[in-house]
Amino acid sequence: KNEVEQSPQNLTAQEGEFITINCSYSVGISALHWLQQHPGGGIVSLFMLSSGKKKHGRLIATINIQEKHSSLHITASHPRDSAVYICAVGPNTGNQFYFGTGTSLTVIP
């Protein structure tokens, strides 16, 4: 049983396209995180959400607590956005994050 499901698993886009990555979860949460991992690289935190919407540059993250769903949007995608995007949820009981298996994004020039 996977508490966090991401879709799609793989995504290829042309430079400039609007991209959406989805995350659905099955537990009550205290926080949801979006992480980015470049090929061969480390992992960085993009957003931490408990409600609503956050924006950082061309990246937007939204969360719908009632529907247990979050989306990560990338506007005007660029090849440097090529990475794996990981959704992680901190449940409202317990001490361990649940991680999605990631969405691998490739942006073609």
Partner 1 sequence: DAGITQSPRHKVTETGTPVTLRCHQTENHRYMYWYRQDPGHGLRLIHYSYGVKDTDKGEVSDGYSVSRSKTEDFLLTLESATSSQTSVYFCAISETTFGEQYFGPGTRLTVT
Q: What is the DSSP letter of 79?
A: G
> Which residue bears the tokens 């924006």?
55
CB-wise, 12 or 45, nearer to partner 1? 45
CA distance 5 to 84: 14
Shortest Å distance, C-beta 88 to partner 1: 8
* Of the candidate residues 72, 102, 105, 107, the single one contacting partner 1 (CB under 8 A): 102
> Which residue bears the tokens 């979050």?
70
Cα-Cα end-to-end distance for the chain: 38
Using CB under 8 A as the binding rule, the residues of this chain from 77 to 96 that contact partner 1 are 86, 88, 90, 95-96
CA distance 66 to 18: 25
Does 51 help bind partner 1 (rule: CB under 8 A)? no
Does 27 help bind partner 1 (rule: CB under 8 A)? no
Q: Rule CB under 8 A: which residues touch partner 1? A: 30-31, 33, 35, 42-45, 48, 86, 88, 90, 95-97, 99-102
